[in-house]
Structure 1
Amino acid sequence: MKNKLLSFPKLVAFLFLLIMAIIWVIPLVWGLVTSFKEDMEFQTMGFKFLPVEWVITNYTSLLVDNYSTPLLHWFFNSLIISIVHTLLVLVVVSLAAFAYSRLQFKGRNTLFTFLLATMMFPAVVNLIPLYKIVDTLGWVNSYLAAIVPGAAGVFNIFLVRQFMANIPMEYDEAARVDGAGDFQIFFKVALPQLKPILMVVALFSFTGSWNDFLWPSIVFNDIEKMPITAGLQLLQGMYTSQPTMLMAGAIIALIPTFIIYLFAQKYFLESMSLSAGIKG
């Protein structure tokens, strides 16, 4: 009886999660199958989930010999921007979190509190001053305009700092007794134990950079240098009457984030335990 009572809440939770998963997955699957339909079939046959005839012309039209909307070029632009941005975030965030968590300096807590307070302001209020800075540096229409801003994300610093706070200080003290300096402690003691949380930060940073639409639409007006999110806006303007081709472009844009989430799930779950950094 006790086992049955315990299994009923689990069953309810499972059914609820299953329903939610179906609600989220169906639009994605519908978009995928729609991208393999002929445009005439989509517009004349009403709602039909599976295509009558599977075609790949939507993809070939976008990827092969398409100079007006170079989707493949936009894809690689986004890939370069997102990868470099993620690497920069990992460097900046891990060092900043180490300083706020392990180093002792005057005003550390006050400065960190002020840093957290900036999270209350919506990001959109920074667009104009940020564009002025980027324009002054001559970064408009360059990868740097999309890579550098946001590298020191406050939430990421907070996340890594909280994770690092659960690593015993005795590790640092033992390393200092052996003559290690701050950078040696960071690289040899702290960094190896930060792998789970840094994987999560990398996941968030990559997907955030890849999916960012507003900022790239502001700083890029050169078609050849656009990332894929800003490019899809042009695609929508050119192929408004061809929704199947638009869907094919959207599916191509989803591929990297889908692959990353597929292979990085275990690190995300691992990071949910703030004690994961402690090794006994």
Structure 2
Amino acid sequence: MDARTPGATPPLAGPADAPELPGTLTEVETVTGDGTRVRGWLVLPTGAGPDAPAPLLLWIHGGPLNSWNAWSWRWNPWLMAARGYAVLLPDPALSTGYGQDFVQRGWGHWGGPPFDDLMAVTDAAVARPDVDATRTAAMGGSFGGYMANWTAGHTDRFAAIVTHASLWALDQFGPTTDHAEYWLTEMTPEMARENSPHLHADAITTPMLVIHGDRDHRVPIGEGLRLWWDLVSRQADPEANPHRFLYFPDENHWVLAPNHAKLWYETVHAFLAAHVLGEEWETPELLR
């Protein structure tokens, strides 16, 4: 069989039939203020349209040298589409696949072009008639969590923010991560001062769900604990605290145990339902 002949190579059969996707996949793109083209995937749930626009989740990838180019069961947009959300998967500055200049736009300037690109492509997404601009949230893990934290301190446009295994205080993170030799090539003391989300904690008004594993050595648990303290210590009424902290004592940078992955999604769903959809908070069954 000649693999070079179109159609000559049959796909390998899986152990089960592929499930029917609860929506469709399209693309969104825009041109930023500096003339750069920025694009992203947009997952739309079944039934989304001008008469039923879907609430939007901005998902920010980790890395930061990465892109939304692979399937994952950990951050799977189709699970959110099944709940009726549209999911935007953009590739901002620092993303791979767009050339060296695209990476260099954000190198050492995490709070600059990457943030601007994310906001610009979000603007393009919410301008669509099948997306509800009044119900939006932002989510990210690792560097995506860093960007979620930076976003929380620089705009109140989102109804909720989910930050997983995230960088909070860069002066603390750089010397304590297990990959310090890499980060310190980019994270000079000046860069840390100019781009650290913790310096903008006073500006955060958006409810945040903080998720972290105690055995995370890539982004040590101290980042999540300090973020949590910086959030709750600023609440005038602790009883009215809008923030939540999901703590995994035996997970690392990734949530690997199947039951923990289920808990992760259930908690995210509950948090988003309360702040984006306006429903009552309901503690996930696995936490009761």
TM normalised by structure 1 equals 0.24
Structure showing greater radius of gyration is: 1
Which one scores higher on RCO, CA 8 angstroms, separation ≥ 6?
A: 1
TM normalised by structure 2 equals 0.23
Tell me which protein shows more strand as a share of its residues.
Answer: 2
